[in-house]
Structure 1
Amino acid sequence: MKREHFSVTAIPAGNTPDAPDVPTLRVDYSGSVAVLRDRLTDGDGATLESADVDVAFRKREGETGVVSIAKRLTGAFIVELDAETTAVQRVVDVAEADDGRYRVEIVTGDDRVRFEKQTLLVYDTTGQLLRSSSLIPGSVEL
């Protein structure tokens, strides 16, 4: 899977029928559906649950960075994709102002996989955790 096959859109929560109930990072994928579907399932073929994945954002020089979605137990990347820093920060800010929840939605054609999350770790260009830019629930100790 190539990063060029992905695009990310930040969708704020809202009260319109089109808007989600929590801020959402929508990931659209235009590559091989079979490869992505394989990465989004466990050894038994069941779709991964929200608790099975971790989401992080690593800033790069300039206004972009890399969103990574990985399997929690193994650390294996499900996807890595380029994203604008402002889009990710918008989701963090809106989630933080509400109850801390956000959603990652991966869309391939008519298929959607949704992960409801409360943690989004943001790192600077040197790999240092930026606590003030991250979503870290109060019950989590790093």
Structure 2
Amino acid sequence: MRRDYFTIDASNLDTPGVPTVVIDFEGPTEQLVERLTRTDGEPLASDEVDVAFRLQGPVKDDPEGVVAVTNRVTGEFVLELNADSEDVLNFIEAAREYGKEAGESHRYRIRVSIDGDQLLEQEKGTFLVYDANGDLLRHHSLIPSGVEL
């Protein structure tokens, strides 16, 4: 699956409600459906999916980066797409603030759709950010308290 088959949009960054990121896929669907589905035919559960962002340059330069959704059980990439670092970091900050105000364990919602038809929706509490060398940027990441990495 090519990164340019995906678009990303975020909502509830400045308004009440769970910050939500919508990833829409406009390409051949079979592989994405397979990657988002367990062997029993059910969608992957929230605890089986990780979301991360890897910068392609120094954070101070506001570089592009890659959003990656991975299968925590197998370690395989489910999908990757290019995204602007400022947009992603603003989303993470909105999710952090939502978690503080709402007192919820989940901080944001992720939806994956194919040509506008929702395939997966999950509430998440973790969104990891890595620099271009693959080192975790804890300050920019969304990590629930009590979680050791």
TM norm structure 1: 0.90
Contact kept, 8 Å, 2:125 with 2:144, in 1: the verdict is: yes
- C-alpha separation in 2, matches of 1:26 and 1:60: 22
Computed over aligned residues only, the root mean square deviation of the Cα atoms, in angstroms, reads 1.4
Q: CA deviation at 1:59?
A: 0.3
- C-alpha separation in 2, matches of 1:126 and 1:79: 20
- C-alpha separation in 2, matches of 1:117 and 1:88: 15
- C-alpha separation in 2, matches of 1:90 and 1:55: 15
- Counterpart of 1:34? 30
Contact kept, 8 Å, 1:9 with 1:87, in 2: the verdict is: no
Following TM superposition, where does structure 1 have runs of at least 4 consecutive aligned residues deviating by more than 4 angstroms?
Answer: none
Q: CA deviation at 1:110?
A: 4.2
- C-alpha separation in 2, matches of 1:35 and 1:85: 27
Structure 2: give runs of 5+ residues left out of the alignment: 100-105
- C-alpha separation in 2, matches of 1:125 and 1:110: 32
> Taking every aligned residue pair, what percent have the same amino acid on both sides?
42
Q: CA deviation at 1:102?
A: 0.7
Match runs of 1:49-64 below 5 Å: 49-61=45-57, 63-64=63-64
Q: Deviations over 1:50-83 (max 9, x none)?
A: 1110011000025210111011111111001111
Supply the AA of the counterpart residue of 1:81.
L
What secondary structure is seen at the aligned counterpart in 1 of 2:47?
helix
Q: Which segment is superposed worse, 45-54 or 4-13?
A: 4-13
TM norm structure 2: 0.86
Match runs of 1:37-116 below 5 Å: 37-61=33-57, 63-99=63-99, 101-112=107-118, 113-116=120-123
- C-alpha separation in 2, matches of 1:22 and 1:33: 28
- Counterpart of 1:10? 10
- C-alpha separation in 2, matches of 1:3 and 1:54: 18
Equivalent residue for 2:19, pick from 18, 23, 33: 23
- C-alpha separation in 2, matches of 1:111 and 1:37: 12
Supply the AA of the counterpart residue of 1:134.
S
Supply the AA of the counterpart residue of 1:105.
R
- C-alpha separation in 1, matches of 2:131 and 2:116: 35
What secondary structure is seen at the aligned counterpart in 2 of 1:97?
helix
- C-alpha separation in 1, matches of 2:86 and 2:21: 12
- C-alpha separation in 2, matches of 1:87 and 1:24: 13
Q: CA deviation at 1:132?
A: 0.6
